[in-house]
């Protein structure tokens, strides 16, 4: 057979090698599990990802959440590798199909010559027009048999996990300890059944039907075990490290898991999180926390952010610090609640009424969700303004392994600043930084401040003076500009100059890098530039653009009426450079690496 | 400052007075402000612990006229902001102010939720049955037939009944007063402030420009009647049987159903745990279970569980 070692062959050159014992050594493997959400497919994916993190392997996962509540088709894809893993993989090397519909929908995702293991109790019709290697395993009946009693078919996921462990010679003890950690908490029966199913899968004589064995190479030994988690969890922990102790929000997918975790975690840190009656109340409560002197957070997804916009305009005017999270999903309106999109960029920057400058950041991967949350807290305090974090559905749910952050240097211990303010106190000095006196502060002059959304003077007194409004508008804008001036130019990945620069933001960081790798392997002089700070963006990006023949911005949003995606529009308006092209997409799915390559090439050719 | 240990000097009306109110001469809200000052003077709350919060409206300009920490927020959202302040700062005395539009219309849902959660704060509504700041549109309390700019031939929608809304919503202290009855107003303000939990006072406060005379029926000096609720004294006297039991929710609804101008005083008062306390209990229980752990240790163990 023509099994190649990487998911993305034939574009890449890493070939598998068959060793003396006939074992195929793999650098990478992309495994897709397709079933229904109630089958616990996410659980297998989670175990594999965590195992990879414990064995010096890179991992990235991708999953779909069914939009119906009672379950429905669901997939989980795991990309394991001994080198750097940047995307969840375009095509899969292995497909585990639990049902006929899973088979029908996903057999096309298997790369040529890939291996499909299907549940022969459920899948009846096999296609004959593919070169996939088909392996029939009676997953349902074998699972029921292994657990016995009235087990029905629960535990199929662990049976499959056992097969995967055997197939790839994974460390059985490590997996068993992970299973124990997950199920041991529930009760002994649950754990025993899980282990029975897992062992049965591990012992299943797959060799009788598939005369191949695989060994997933280990990466360079990295010393410590890695942390394996999803973006929403990383973001939650970043907020805690950054000093957030109070927050309020209203549930919405895919934001909810952040607020659920904060609700549980914050009391441990002496803080609290409020589930508000709606997003208007949520942002207002969060501003109440901020006014009271705390680092506070609110968050939502698109529809909820729309509701928060009036209060966020207040936060700019009153100059209150607030971290605002938008876990973007497909819009407009209720849109595609469980799909990925980057279409809220302009809303984050310009979505409120009035001249309303604020900071907008976007994390590039799961680890960065942690770091960017810490940074957002610091910036909110320093510049006393709302700071947006634009993450997305893909980052929210995908699992990656990364090194544990250096907590000792990153953790901020919050403290209320209630030092007595002197008579000269001005919260909004024209020539200095905004500093509030939170309630409880003794005002030596006997004059107490009222924070307002009306235009005001340096002391915060309402004033409709035209001169003052111009000055204060400039002041609120200039502090954001001043932050922009502190930002270093982004590092370039790949060629520092040449034919094509691919520009991206947010969760496309990995796939864009992989695309640039491939373009370079094919002889192109190409580089990638990624923006984490989007408003303000670093100055002098034009000096980078000047080094390439064309600049192509890759985004997951619509090209709009004038033909350019949201970041592309901003870059073109800032630099007036017609060389800046745009690649957009609106199907609610992650970019495949090969699509980035072909569409960037096409856009560059147009230029 | 002097080096001697200071006994804080008493808080006076003068200390509390800020900008001269921009209300129209004769506006009912002046009396509300004056009564508020007097009650603060009596209760001697430390100056820096006073925090006044309002949304938008004539009445919502209140915080500018009190020299204390304050927030002039956005229309209808004073209560959620005040909730954030109250929950995270048990040391403060949090007061929210607003009008009928701010509190019962655009902010109506927040009122129900702050009430049911029993957030520890005092909320004073200056109800003038009209939108004053935006110059005479129909408000949720405008009676049928009121001719406003948005209902030139007279309002057609049934107004809400604030007292029923407040009792139903779960406010743990609900009272009603009239801005011309300063003594009565001060009494209920004081009780509201001393009540632990979400206390609300509905004040009939006349807009002399856009709805003059509307509250004369409750003003003896204008030929009306100021009918004060007699509360039970629990003295086993035969008269006591007819007096109002403030803890009786059904009795509160009956009072709220009386024909306008109705009765004034405390409709309902109950002792229920505040959200502030319930949240604090949760924090205490969690922290007791985990022992004294630093932030870095808490986060480290969380990361360790993900390896
Ligand atoms: C979001 C929003 N919508 C509308 C307004 C305009 N507005 C300001 S105050 C007000 C009504 C105020 O009425 P009320 O709360 O009864 O206060 P009053 O002026 O009568 O004291 C309205 C509609 C606003 N400021 N914000
Ligand atoms: S318009 Fe009415 S409510 Fe507003 S200040 Fe004047 S009298 Fe008072
Ligand atoms: Mg009014």
Site from B80, B116, B305 to mutate, A interface, most A CB atoms within 10 angstroms: B80
Please report the pLDDT score of residue A79 as a whole number. Answer: 87
Tokens of A331: 């819009």
- Rounded to whole angstroms, the Cα distance separating A336 from A355 reads 30
pLDDT digit string, tens, across residues A372-395: 999 999 999 999 999 999 999 999
Q: Looking at A217-231, A246-260, A395-409, A528-542, which range is the least confident one? A: A217-231
- Rounded to whole angstroms, the Cα distance separating A351 from A316 reads 12
- Rounded to whole angstroms, the Cα distance separating B132 from B208 reads 10
Query: In which band, very low, low, confident or very high, does the pLDDT at A15 lie, cut at 50, 70 and 90?
Result: very low
pLDDT digit string, tens, across residues A524-542: 999 999 999 999 999 999 9
Architecture of domain A492-606: 3-Layer(aba) Sandwich (3.40)
Share of chain A above pLDDT 70, in %: 92
- Rounded to whole angstroms, the Cα distance separating B65 from B126 reads 15
Residue A472: exposed, middle, or buried by beta-carbon count in 10 A (0-12, 13-18, 19+)?
buried
3-state helix, strand, coil in chain B (%, to 5): 40, 15, 45
- Rounded to whole angstroms, the Cα distance separating A460 from A440 reads 17
Please report the pLDDT score of residue A298 as a whole number. Answer: 98
Beta strands B50-54 and B263-269 are unpaired
Query: Under CATH, what is the fold of the domain A229-401?
Result: Rossmann fold (3.40.50)
- Rounded to whole angstroms, the Cα distance separating A268 from A264 reads 8
- Rounded to whole angstroms, the Cα distance separating A324 from A327 reads 10
Would you call B74 and A278 a contact, using CB atoms and an 8 Å cutoff?
Answer: no
For residue A559, the SS3 value is coil
SS3 sequence of A89-146 = CCCEEEEEECCHHHHHHHHHHEEEEEEEEEECCCCCCCCCCCCCEEEEECHHHHHHHH
User: A with B: how many residue pairs have Cβ under 8 Å apart?
Assistant: 184
Radius of gyration of chain A (CA): 26
Does residue B101 have its Cβ closer than 6 Å to ligand 1?
A: yes
Determine the distance separating the centroid of ligand 2 and the alpha carbon of B23, expressed in angstroms: 6
Please report the pLDDT score of residue A18 as a whole number. Answer: 65
pLDDT digit string, tens, across residues B120-170: 999 999 999 999 999 999 999 999 999 999 999 999 999 999 999 999 999
Among A170, A65, A146, which residue's Cα sits nearest to residue A398?
Answer: A65
Share of chain B above pLDDT 70, in %: 98
Please report the pLDDT score of residue A53 as a whole number. Answer: 76
Tokens of A495: 């060629």
Place of tokens 């292994």: A146
pLDDT digit string, tens, across residues A166-211: 888 888 888 888 888 888 777 788 888 889 999 999 999 887 767 7
**Per-residue pLDDT averaged across A116-129, rounded?**
91
Determine the distance separating the centroid of ligand 2 and the alpha carbon of A402, expressed in angstroms: 61
**Per-residue pLDDT averaged across A228-242, rounded?**
96
pLDDT digit string, tens, across residues B162-204: 999 999 999 999 999 999 999 999 999 999 999 999 999 999 9
Residue nearest to atom 6 of ligand 2 (CA): B24
Among B173, B208, B223, B197, which residue's Cα sits nearest to residue B277?
Answer: B197
Would you call B89 and A440 a contact, using CB atoms and an 8 Å cutoff?
Answer: yes
From chain A, pick out residues whose CB is under 8 angstroms from the CB of B298. 240, 268-269
- Which residues does residue A498 pair with via DSSP β-bridges, in sequence order? A548
From chain A, pick out residues whose CB is under 8 angstroms from the CB of B116. none
- Rounded to whole angstroms, the Cα distance separating A585 from A557 reads 6
What CA dihedral angle connects B69, B71, B77 and B83, to 10 degrees? -20
- Rounded to whole angstroms, the Cα distance separating A360 from A348 reads 7
Would you call A449 and B69 a contact, using CB atoms and an 8 Å cutoff?
Answer: yes
Alpha helices in B108-266 (DSSP H): 108-117, 162-169, 182-194, 249-256
Domains A17-226 and A229-401 fall in the same CATH topology: no
Would you call A453 and B73 a contact, using CB atoms and an 8 Å cutoff?
Answer: yes
Query: In which band, very low, low, confident or very high, does the pLDDT at A122 lie, cut at 50, 70 and 90?
Result: very high
Site from A53, A174, A450, A457 to mutate, B interface, most B CB atoms within 10 angstroms: A450
Q: Please give, rounded to a whole number of angstroms, the shortest distance from the CA of A247 to a CA of chain B.
A: 9
Q: Which atom number of ligand 1 is nearest to the Cα of residue B103?
A: 15
- Rounded to whole angstroms, the Cα distance separating B269 from B198 reads 10
- Rounded to whole angstroms, the Cα distance separating A15 from A29 reads 12
What CA dihedral angle connects A127, A130, A136 and A139, to 10 degrees? -80
- Rounded to whole angstroms, the Cα distance separating B80 from A248 reads 10
Residue spans per domain, chain A:
17-226, 229-401, 419-486, 492-606
Please report the pLDDT score of residue A322 as a whole number. Answer: 98
- Helices A302-318/A279-291 angle, 10° precision: 30
Tokens of A535: 């408003």
Query: In which band, very low, low, confident or very high, does the pLDDT at A66 lie, cut at 50, 70 and 90?
Result: low
SS3 sequence of A135-192 = EEECHHHHHHHHHCCCCCCCCHHHHHHHHHHHHCCCCHHHHHHHHHHHHCCCCHHHHH
Determine the distance separating the centroid of ligand 3 and the alpha carbon of A10, expressed in angstroms: 72
Would you call B85 and A288 a contact, using CB atoms and an 8 Å cutoff?
Answer: yes
The better pLDDT of the pair B55, A193 is held by B55
- Rounded to whole angstroms, the Cα distance separating A293 from B234 reads 46
Query: In which band, very low, low, confident or very high, does the pLDDT at A69 lie, cut at 50, 70 and 90?
Result: low
What does the mean pLDDT of chain A come to? Answer: 90
Please report the pLDDT score of residue A13 as a whole number. Answer: 35
* Contact assessment for residue A378 and residue A389, using Cβ atoms and an 8 Å cutoff: no
Please report the pLDDT score of residue A20 as a whole number. Answer: 62
Query: Under CATH, what is the fold of the domain A17-226?
Result: Pyruvate-ferredoxin Oxidoreductase; domain 3 (3.40.920)
C-alpha distance from residue A56 to each of A170, A231, B20 (Å): 12, 20, 70
What does the mean pLDDT of chain B come to? Answer: 96
The beta-carbon neighbor of A440 closest among B49, B77, B290 is B49
For residue A500, the SS3 value is strand
**Per-residue pLDDT averaged across A535-560, rounded?**
98
CA–centroid distance for A341 within its chain: 11
Does residue B27 have its Cβ closer than 6 Å to ligand 2?
A: yes
- Rounded to whole angstroms, the Cα distance separating B290 from B298 reads 9
Using CA coordinates, name the residue in chain B closest to A399. Answer: B306
Among B92, B50, B272, B94, which residue's Cα sits nearest to residue B171?
Answer: B272
C-alpha distance from residue A111 to each of A32, A115, A212 (Å): 11, 9, 17
**Per-residue pLDDT averaged across A462-491, rounded?**
97
Query: In which band, very low, low, confident or very high, does the pLDDT at A317 lie, cut at 50, 70 and 90?
Result: very high
The better pLDDT of the pair A63, A342 is held by A342
- Rounded to whole angstroms, the Cα distance separating A435 from A562 reads 42
- Rounded to whole angstroms, the Cα distance separating B59 from B53 reads 11
Category of A270 on φ-ψ map: left (φ > 0), alpha (ψ -120 to 50) or beta: left
Phi, psi of B176 (to 5 degrees): -135, 135
């Amino acid at each position: 057979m023509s099994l190649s070692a990487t998911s993305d062959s034939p574009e890449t050159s890493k070939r598998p090698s068959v060793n003396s014992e006939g074992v195929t050594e793999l650098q990478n493997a992309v495994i897709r599990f397709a079933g229904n959400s109630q089958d616990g497919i996410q659980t297998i994916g989670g175990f594999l990802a965590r195992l990879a993190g414990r064995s010096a392997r890179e991992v990235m996962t991708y999953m779909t959440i069914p939009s119906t509540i009672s379950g429905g088709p669901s997939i989980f894809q795991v990309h394991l590798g001994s080198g750097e893993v940047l995307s969840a993989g375009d095509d899969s090397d292995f497909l585990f199909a639990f049902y006929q519909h899973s088979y029908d929908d996903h057999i096309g995702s298997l790369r040529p010559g890939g291996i499909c293991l299907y549940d022969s109790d459920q899948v009846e019709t096999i296609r004959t027009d593919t070169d996939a290697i088909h392996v029939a395993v009676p997953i349902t009946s074998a699972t029921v048999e292994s657990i016995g009693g009235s087990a029905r078919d629960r535990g199929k996921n662990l049976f499959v996990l056992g097969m995967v462990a055997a197939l790839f010679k994974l460390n059985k003890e490590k997996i068993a300890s992970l299973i124990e950690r997950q199920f041991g908490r529930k009760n002994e029966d649950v754990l025993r059944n899980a282990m029975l199913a897992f062992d049965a899968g591990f012992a299943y004589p797959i060799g009788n039907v598939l005369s191949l064995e695989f060994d997933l190479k280990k990466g360079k030994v990295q010393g410590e075990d890695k942390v394996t988690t999803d973006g929403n969890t990383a973001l939650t922990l970043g907020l805690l490290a950054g000093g957030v102790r109070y927050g309020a929000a209203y549930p919405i997918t895919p934001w909810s898991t952040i607020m659920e975790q904060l609700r549980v975690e914050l009391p441990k840190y002496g803080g609290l999180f409020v589930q508000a009656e709606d997003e208007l109340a949520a942002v207002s409560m969060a501003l109440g926390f901020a006014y009271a002197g705390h680092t506070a957070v609110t968050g939502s997804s698109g529809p909820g952010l729309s509701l928060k916009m009036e209060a966020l305009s207040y936060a700019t005017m009153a100059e209150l610090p607030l971290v605002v999270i938008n876990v973007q999903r497909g819009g407009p309106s209720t849109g595609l609640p469980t799909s990925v999109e980057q279409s809220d960029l302009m809303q984050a920057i310009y979505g409120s009424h009035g001249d309303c400058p604020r900071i907008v950041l976007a994390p590039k991967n799961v680890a960065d969700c942690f770091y960017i949350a810490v940074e957002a807290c610091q910036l909110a305090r320093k510049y006393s303004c709302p700071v947006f974090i634009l993450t997305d559905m893909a980052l929210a749910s995908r699992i990656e392994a990364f090194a544990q952050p250096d907590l000792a240097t990153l953790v901020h211990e919050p403290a209320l600043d209630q030092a007595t303010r002197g008579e000269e106190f001005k919260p909004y000095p024209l020539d200095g930084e905004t500093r509030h006196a939170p309630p409880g502060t003794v005002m030596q002059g006997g004059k107490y401040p009222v924070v307002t959304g009306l235009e005001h003077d340096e002391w915060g007194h309402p004033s409709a003076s035209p001169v003052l409004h111009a000055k204060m508008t400039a002041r609120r804008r200039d502090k954001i500009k001043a932050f922009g001036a502190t930002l270093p130019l982004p590092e370039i990945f790949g060629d520092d100059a040449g034919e094509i620069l691919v520009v991206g933001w947010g969760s496309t960081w990995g796939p864009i890098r992989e695309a640039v790798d491939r373009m370079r392997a094919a002889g192109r002089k190409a580089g990638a530039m990624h923006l984490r700070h989007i408003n303000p963006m670093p100055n002098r990006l034009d000096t980078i653009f000047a080094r390439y023949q064309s600049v192509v911005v890759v985004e997951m949003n619509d090209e709009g009426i004038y033909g350019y995606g949201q970041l592309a529009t901003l870059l073109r308006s800032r630099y007036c450079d017609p060389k800046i092209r745009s690649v957009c997409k609106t199907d609610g799915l992650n970019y495949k690496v090969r699509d980035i390559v072909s569409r960037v090439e096409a856009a560059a050719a147009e230029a | 400052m002097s080096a001697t240990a200071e006994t804080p000097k008493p808080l006076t009306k003068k200390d509390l007075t800020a900008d001269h109110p921009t209300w129209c001469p004769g506006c009912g809200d002046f009396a509300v402000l004056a009564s508020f000052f007097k009650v603060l003077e009596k209760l001697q709350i430390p100056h820096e612990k006073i925090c006044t919060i309002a949304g938008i409206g004539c009445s919502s300009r209140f915080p500018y006229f009190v020299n204390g920490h304050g927030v002039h927020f956005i229309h209808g959202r004073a209560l959620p902001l005040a909730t954030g302040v109250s929950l995270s700062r048990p040391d403060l005395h949090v007061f929210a102010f607003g009008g009928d539009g701010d509190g019962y219309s655009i902010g109506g849902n927040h009122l129900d939720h702050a009430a049911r959660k029993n957030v520890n704060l005092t909320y004073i509504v200056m109800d003038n049955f009209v939108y004053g700041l935006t110059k005479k549109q129909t408000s949720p309390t405008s009676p049928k037939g009121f001719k406003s700019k948005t209902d030139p031939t007279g309002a057609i929608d049934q107004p809400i009944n604030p007292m029923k809304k407040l009792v139903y919503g779960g406010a743990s202290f609900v009272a009603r007063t009239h801005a011309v009855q300063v003594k009565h107003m001060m009494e209920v303000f004081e009780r509201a402030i001393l009540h632990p939990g979400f206390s609300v006072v509905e004040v009939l406060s006349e807009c002399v420009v856009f709805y003059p005379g509307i509250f004369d029926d409750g003003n003896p000096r204008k030929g009306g009647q100021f009918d004060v609720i007699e509360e039970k004294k629990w003295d086993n006297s035969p008269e006591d049987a007819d007096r109002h039991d403030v803890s009786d929710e059904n009795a509160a609804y009956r009072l709220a159903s009386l024909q306008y101008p109705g009765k004034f005083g405390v409709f309902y008062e109950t002792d229920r745990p505040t959200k502030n306390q319930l949240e604090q209990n949760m924090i205490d229980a969690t922290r007791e279970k985990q022992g004294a752990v630093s932030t870095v240790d808490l986060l480290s163990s969380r990361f360790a569980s993900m390896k």
